[in-house]
Chains A and B, each alone.
Chain A
Amino acid sequence: MTVTDERPATKEVGSRRTRKEDQRLITGRTRWTDNIQLPGMLHLAMVRSPFAHAKVLSVDTAAAKGAPGVMGVFTGADLAETQGANINAWPITADQVTPTHLPVVVDHVACAGEIVAVVAARSAAAARDAAELVDVDYEELPAVLDMKEALTDAVLAHPDLGTNKSAFWTLDSAEAGTGADVDEAIAKAREDGIVIEREYRQQRLIPAFMEPRSTVVDPTGEQIVIWSATQVPHILRFCIAATTGIPESKIRVIAPDVGGGFGGKLQTTPEEFATLAVARKLGKPVKYTETRSESLLSGHHGRDQWQRLTLSAEKDGTVTGFKVELLADLGAYVAIVGGGVPVLGAWMFNSIYKFPAYRFTVQTILTNKPWVDAYRGAGRPEATFGIERMMDELAAEVGVDPLAIREKNWITHEEFPFTTVAGMTYDSGNYEAATARATELFDYDGMRAEQRRRRESGDPVQLGIGVSTFTEMCGLAPSRILGQLNYGAGGWEHASIRMLATGKVEVITGTSPHGQGHETAWSQIVADRLGIPFEDVEVLHGDTQIAPRGLDTYGSRSLVVGGEAVVRAADKVIEKAKPVAAHLLEADVADIEFTDGTFGVRGTDKGIGIADLALAAFAAHNWPDGLEPSLDAEATFDPDNFSFPHGTHLCAMEVDTETGATRMRKYVCVDDVGVIVNPLIVEGQVHGGLVQGIAQALWEGAEFDDNGTLVTGSFVDYTLPTAADTISFVTDHTTSPSTTNTLGTKGVGEAGTIASTPAVVNAIVDALRPRGIHDVEMPCTPERVWRAIRSAGADSAGAAPSAAQPHFDESEGDVQ
């Protein structure tokens, strides 16, 4: 059954608080890493390989060293002893092939953009000028760029490894005992049911956070201080210590104001390690800030899969089995999560459905392209796209509405908690409620009626309606499960609360926000919990010296795991305060009740406020014997299970069949993210998530030329959506509280991105399906849609041409 919310009414949790963070951000009083200036600070510029695959024969730094303002030029060989390495934290199999990833290459370049030398100069401009003078002699090697070609091992991304195949990972319901044999289900369906077989492309994306990455290293004190535009200050500190030999206790990492991440800043980057190495060599503060082109080229990319999907069903549309075979491009190295990103999809391809049989396999591949890692959703958008596209295909095959096929197969709200065919136990949800609300807001029947009218009248602008009913797993993660999966760290989160003498309260969180509004949301939680004013709470984060324990922010984990740690720390404060209150009120501790910030004595009007107790602890003049004079408390929370937000997204796309142009007409989403702490912030997360997912469907894609050069290497070519490309959305919520944490929250950071991509593509395909078209490869540019329409019927399979849109149309003669 679905849990109903019986939590007590709260003042702050649930209110649309405007954010504390805003004041400094709207007035320009921000501390981005690139704003930091230290006395004597030097600036770095990177010399990067223009080749996707090459041997470095020699690096001549003499001219650069003699250039004005230059204080040092360093090659990989110069830094080899001290630079550390960029590690993979999640070897998905015991025999995973994992090339060593050096921050500055010594003799082998495995993708364009790798750092070959570092120039340090008195100004950023001088460093950039001198970088042009570094003369690198390369021997170009054949590059393998296409992951299907890479499978043959004909050309090797890393010749010394002997193979491009990194790891093969399987989850099989028959082997795991969580379901039946999928091959048997498919064989039976070939006899008397329906088998849908499709291959989908998840194009390569670039996170494209707005703040370029920047790192400042000050090696002049007892501790090395590293400011970095990172999502993961604690993980960065650990990785530096683990690979450079610098004691962890001598490293302080600070993530100051960080301008977005979306997974793109959860890496420990070559640039961070190179900056640290040069700062230590020179003994001076050093700053490196990337250009946007460097960011697009040398930050990690996301997605990049081929998905071979086989869905078996009975003739009435009841699914009997689902087989998922993925090829996942890791790029040149196995990044920090690496193959773990597609593996996260293993539990999500079955989504909200009751599939009796299931198999998921992924082959991870090394190529000579930039490395791939988590990008908003990380494995779950890919999975949701695959299954939601397939459910639409099944609906078309059966001849029923896409919503009907989903309803036939989804877990009903009476069935929770529900253990899926992938072995995951969903604690709560109500797919019927979210879908009912979404169809109402969308005017689903009205939109279908308009679609029919346009089809019947032969309107050149056709209307398509896309459905996406998704779930995801959030709250990464139960440490034991991570251990079983061979992940290199735990998934707990830490918080502490300091009760200051003046009544103010400091909340220290191990999460590391970069736009999510934790300072506001955590203040709301603590204000309610301790019965103190919202304004009296200060949230501190992102500095390993202030917040010594933490596992940072990614995977929609901060509120679900980190927020619960805050709740538990607050509850410990109250428990510590009770005997003190009893002592000061001369009462029995059993009679002490805590309500709205006051400790009272049951049955009397006696009471003392929590701020008065904090002052009493500061003075410690009158304190119970045997108790420490402090109300401060800390808590570490390790969840028992993931949380499972879900929702129903409906999208209407107009498709101009004469030009291929598409226009979003309406987008409605109803998300169940559990209990909402701040509706204003949640709506913002949904809006932003939606646009990133819509952008994958319509506009974005990292494209390379035949030499492995990134041709979408600036914002001219990597086309982020603008305000003029997007519309206003209709968002709403249903609530089935999570049972894994006290507040009942589920996580919202990735929901919009996960759900929206298939909703948009399903809508475009829905508009074109009467023409025999059943797929358009992403991004669904006007050209691709137009080609699909033009070639409809010529391609018996009904899929649009799969060749990537060329950067330049070679048929038109010489490139201008």
Chain B
Amino acid sequence: MAYLKTLARQQGWHDDLKHPTEESQMTRITVTVDDVSYTDEVEPRTLLVHYLREQLGKTGTVVGCDTSNCGACTVHLDGVSVKSCNVLAVQADGSTVTTIEGLATDGRLHPVQEAFHECHALQCGYCTPGMIMQSIDLLRDNPDPTEQEIREGLEGNLCRCTGYHNIVKAVQYAAAGGAK
């Protein structure tokens, strides 16, 4: 709570945060998620990922750890990838969020989604939403990455199934415009 109070003061939210078991102070936020604008009351301590999953039903974005190591919850916040377990919902106020559920348009997969499918870059699929969101961010920064640059760009996203081999191939495939 001390951290949260400090953060709250710094961010100029509320300086009267109470212990969450006491009466919680709710904060109103407006966020555009996957092209839909939402206005909601949230507890100041609510993480963006919990807001997406529990209040908006955006369960395509998942939680894999408590320490922002795994990256399963990666979304785009104003066009940049963030781990949504590492962002408070109130910090997203006024922002635009894109999740895995907002990537495909008019029934057509995003090229990186297509690449993950073509290259068998997923098995259980739990890390996949975060991995795809991070891969898109990586390719936006560096449209023609080397294998090492891809590996370093995905370092913040853990996968336990694929050994990363085919994930790297998928990013290369997407970078090449769908050529293996």
Contact = CB atoms under 8 A, between A and B. Distances in A.
B64 A716 contact: no
Contact of B72 (A126, A210, A514, A680): A210
Interface in A774-797: none
A458 to B, nearest CB: 28
Interface string A234-269: 000000000000000000000001111010000000
Given A27-B103, A210-B158, A292 B165 contact: no
A724 B151 contact: yes
A681 B120 contact: yes
B4 interface: no
B59 A35 contact: yes
A720 B69 CA distance: 10
Interface string A559-586: 0000000000000000000000000000
Interface stretch (A14-22, A100-108, A146-154): A14-22
Contact of A515 (B45, B100, B161, B165): B161
B143 interface: no
B154 A722 contact: yes
A29 interface: yes
B163 A259 contact: no
Contacts of B21: 67-68, 126, 129-130, 133
A22 B116 contact: yes
Given A18-B117, A28-B99, A684 B162 contact: yes
B70 interface: yes
A262 B161 CA distance: 9
Among A19, A67, A723: residue with most chain B CB under 10 A: A723
A210 B130 CA distance: 12
B167 interface: yes
A158 B163 CA distance: 40
A691 B158 CA distance: 12
Contacts of B147: 728
A291 B66 contact: yes
Interface residues of B, number: 59
B128 A687 contact: no
Given A18-B118, A22-B122, A32-B59, A688 B70 contact: no
B33 to A, nearest CB: 12
A728 B165 contact: yes
Nearest to A67: B21
A4 interface: no
Contacts of B61: 28
Among A687, A690, A692: residue with most chain B CB under 10 A: A687
Given A25-B128, A688-B163, A723-B157, A212 B64 contact: yes
A26 B120 contact: no
B155 A211 contact: no
A723 B158 CA distance: 8
A22 B162 CA distance: 14
A32 B151 CA distance: 27
Contacts of B45: 125
B21 to A, nearest CB: 5
Interface string B62-84: 11111101101000000000000
Contacts of B20: 125, 129
A517 B123 contact: yes
Contacts of B129: 28
Contacts of A257: 125
A260 B122 contact: no
A687 B117 contact: no
A293 interface: yes
A729 interface: yes
Contact of A259 (B124, B165, B166, B167): B124
A714 B101 CA distance: 28
A30 interface: yes
Interface string A194-211: 000000000000001111
Contacts of B99: 28
A259 B63 CA distance: 11
A724 B104 CA distance: 28
Contacts of B161: 210, 260, 515, 684, 688
Contacts of A808: none
A783 B147 CA distance: 28
B150 interface: yes
Nearest to A756: B163
Contacts of B132: 26
A720 B59 CA distance: 25
Given A68-B21, A728-B165, A28 B100 contact: yes
Contacts of A22: 116-117, 122, 125
B31 interface: no
Contacts of B59: 28, 30, 32, 34-35
Contacts of B126: 32, 209-211, 259-260
Interface in B135-180: 147, 150-152, 154-169
Contacts of B120: 18-19, 680-681, 683-684
A720 B100 contact: no
Given A29-B60, A260-B123, A687 B163 contact: yes
Contacts of B70: 210, 292, 715
A32 B62 contact: yes
A28 B60 contact: yes
B48 interface: no
Interface in B24-48: 43, 45
B124 A715 contact: no
A726 interface: yes
B152 to A, nearest CB: 5
Contacts of A67: 21
B63 A688 contact: no
A6 B113 CA distance: 39
A724 B128 contact: no
Given A28-B59, A517-B123, A292 B66 contact: yes
A130 B72 CA distance: 27
B109 A211 contact: no
A665 to B, nearest CB: 14
Contacts of A25: 122, 125, 128
Among B72, B116, B160: residue with most chain A CB under 10 A: B160
Contacts of B53: 35
Contacts of B124: 209-211, 258-260, 514-515
A64 to B, nearest CB: 10
Nearest to A31: B59
A516 interface: yes
B90 interface: no
A794 to B, nearest CB: 37
B146 to A, nearest CB: 12
Contacts of A716: 67, 69
Nearest to A693: B163
Interface of A: 18-19, 21-30, 32, 34-35, 67-68, 125-126, 129-130, 133, 208-212, 257-260, 262, 291-293, 514-517, 680-681, 683-685, 687-692, 714-716, 720-724, 726, 728-729, 752
27 contacts: A26-B109, A27-B113, A28-B100, A28-B101, A28-B129, A30-B125, A32-B126, A35-B53, A210-B159, A210-B161, A212-B63, A258-B124, A292-B66, A292-B70, A515-B123, A516-B123, A687-B162, A688-B123, A688-B162, A688-B163, A714-B69, A716-B69, A720-B158, A722-B156, A724-B154, A728-B165, A728-B169
Interface of B: 20-21, 23, 43, 45, 53, 58-67, 69-70, 72, 99-101, 103-104, 109, 113, 116-118, 120, 122-129, 132, 147, 150-152, 154-169
Closest 10 A-B residue pairs measured CB to CB?
A28-B60, A25-B125, A515-B124, A259-B126, A691-B163, A715-B69, A687-B163, A515-B123, A28-B100, A292-B65
Given A68-B21, A259-B125, A715-B65, 9 more contacts: A26-B100, A28-B61, A35-B53, A209-B124, A209-B160, A211-B126, A260-B124, A715-B67, A726-B151
